[in-house]
Chains A and B, each alone.
Chain A
Amino acid sequence: MIGAFGQRGPARPVPSLEAPSPRYGEKLIRAILAMCALLSVVTTTAIVVSLLIPTIEFFGKVGIGDFLFGTNWAPTFQPAAFGVLPIVVGTFSTALWGMLFAVPIGLASAIWLSEYASPRQRKVIKPVLEVLAGIPTVAIGIFGLVFLSPMIEDVLPFMVNVPPFSAGVAGLAIGLMIVPIIASISDDSMRAVPAGLREAAYGLGATRMKVATRVVFPAAISGIVASLVLAGSRAVGETMVVLLVAGASPNLTFDPGSSVLTMTAFIGQTATGDISTGSITYDTIFAVGTLLFVITLILNMFAIRMVRKYREVYE
């Protein structure tokens, strides 16, 4: 070692670690990639701007109070009424019935997948549930319309007052759609709970059910809540199922048998016609869209925060 130092030539130039050229190409590529990423911000800005401008125009003609707290929704009638509550309640009604169906089923599936299934069973069942998540909502809507609705009308007539339309049946179809969201995300968060917690509980004599319900479930609660909120946001934003199954009557009720109009169904139904820019009907679509956007944004932000929480704790 010492000899090696001694033999070093006196005037040998040390090779530079600096790049031999400024590498403009590298910088250009970085800039192009950054532009791709910035496009998402542009998209968001475009959404907000395109929602806000007509909405502001709308509120020039209709009072905010009349819009948010009015109980009569008849924007295309003479005289028109713009009380948004019936379609907000309609939206939450279908979402609520959907969640009532999907939460127990989704959570049961998630607990089974994470705590009871053998690796082999898991490998089969999880992708199958993911297939359910990939079925287009228009197909689920048709299923609700031609199968669920007549069937439920036979068994429980009070669930379908105006055949074939019903908020409850629409909720059921939406529930089917969101089960995989709840099952998949809850399963992920329960599996992220360290095995040591389970082993300790087993070692203390707990049964499998106790481990699942008293140890793993509470430890994974932030991920589970996130899955429920995301599913709720998806249920609120679903369009095709409610267009096909929920009917189109703006009724201010949570009655599952009643036909309701939801915010998304109103937008989908009204915006398909050739409506002229600047008319009050055109602006109404955007005002309802803004409300829907704000509601789902709040839900999504909450869910993202909850997911981050469980990642921070266990990963």
Chain B
Amino acid sequence: MAAGIPGSERTRLATAGARAATVDSLKHQPRGDVWKGNVFFAILLFGLTIALVGLAAIIIQAAVKGAPAFGWNLLTNGPSTLNPDEAGFRPALVGTLYLILGVIFLVVPLGIGAALYLEEYADGTRWWNRMIELNVQNLAGVPSIIYGILGLAFIVRGPLDLGFILVAGSLTLALLVLPTVILASREAIRAVPPSIREGSLALGATQWQTIRRQVLPAAIPGVVTGVILAISRAIGETAPLLLVGAATFVTFNPTFIGDNGYSALPVLIFNYAARPQDEFRVLASAGVILMLIVLLTMNSFAVWLRNRYEQQW
């Protein structure tokens, strides 16, 4: 029995002893408890299994369905409504690449800057700082399609009036993942113990010198992990791009500010999938595999990075 109890060796022994005494004074353990416990454990395992099977099914199903269309065609050919056999994702892939470059360029400085301010400078007892904090948490939960509306009304039209160009899509996605980057960076910065800062300040370094030379280098692995996870989210985001003009059938490679339209990988996948013919669904599934390969690689790298550089202070 003692083996099943969590905790350190000593608490485990103590707990097991107390338990034995109690059970002994009660003469016997209620018989129902044992089989109830087993049934409960079986139910838990069953639930977990369904979650894992669901995950496996999504990946396997996409791989099986998309296999016939999977090949270099996907990378080299443009989309086609007539010829699903030869259609590919090239302009959409280039579009996604540019979109993500824009997102990185925007969220890395802004996200880390905001996180540094909130963790290192902001006085948490002031109402405005608390408001910013609450605000960031709330923004992280706003549905992505609302960001699409913001992009449409504020960036594509309205005050910024950029038109349906790639940069507008980048800006929209950047605003969407910014809260995630801020929250992850804050976690990483908070994990640097105060003694490091105090030591640096006591030696005469200014606050910014302390941040630059001590806090940031120590927090970088956590920050990078957060940034990668946010970017992999941006790669798969479809809904906001539908609203800010990621047109589907762009047969040429896009540019950042050209107004001939641009496309993105998930948007093209969505469009293929929404067509009733099976050939297009095969193509969409092949696109999903392509996207999942990129995302799973990035996510595994992030997890590896987190484990590799996790610092014990």
Contact = CB atoms under 8 A, between A and B. Distances in A.
Interface stretch (A2-10, A133-141, A154-162): A133-141
Contacts, number: 304
Contacts of B113: 32-33, 35-37
A111 B44 contact: yes
A53 B44 CA distance: 49
B7 to A, nearest CB: 5
A37 B122 contact: yes
B91 interface: no
Contacts of B50: 105
Categorize the interface residue count of chain A: 35 or more
B239 A240 contact: yes
Interface in B100-132: 109-114, 116-118, 120-122, 131-132
Interface string A114-155: 001000000001011111101111111111011100000000
A68 interface: no
A260 interface: no
A54 B62 CA distance: 40
A264 B18 contact: no
A40 B43 contact: no
Contacts of A240: 238-239, 270
A25 interface: yes
Contacts of B76: none
B216 interface: no
A16 to B, nearest CB: 13
A314 interface: no
Interface of A is mostly: helix
A213 B40 CA distance: 10
Contacts of B144: 237, 239
B219 to A, nearest CB: 14
B65 to A, nearest CB: 6
A39 B45 CA distance: 45
A83 interface: no
A108 B206 contact: no
A271 B152 contact: yes
B19 A202 contact: yes
The 3 A-B pairs with the shortest beta carbon distances in the complex, nearest first, are: A237-B143, A136-B236, A108-B47
Given A36-B117, A40-B179, A50-B158, 17 more contacts: A32-B113, A40-B132, A41-B131, A43-B178, A46-B150, A47-B147, A135-B58, A136-B295, A138-B236, A142-B281, A145-B281, A176-B58, A203-B22, A204-B18, A205-B23, A209-B40, A304-B134
Interface of B: 4-7, 11, 14-16, 18-19, 22-23, 26, 29, 33-34, 36-37, 40-41, 43-48, 50-52, 54-55, 57-58, 61-62, 65, 109-114, 116-118, 120-122, 131-132, 134-139, 141-150, 152-154, 157-158, 175, 178-179, 182, 206-208, 229, 232-233, 235-239, 242-243, 266, 269-270, 273-274, 281, 284-285, 288, 291-292, 295-296, 299, 303
30 contacts: A33-B113, A36-B109, A37-B132, A40-B139, A47-B146, A50-B149, A111-B44, A131-B296, A132-B51, A132-B55, A134-B299, A136-B236, A142-B288, A146-B65, A146-B285, A147-B65, A176-B51, A176-B54, A179-B54, A195-B7, A203-B22, A207-B34, A264-B239, A271-B148, A271-B243, A277-B157, A285-B149, A293-B143, A300-B138, A304-B134
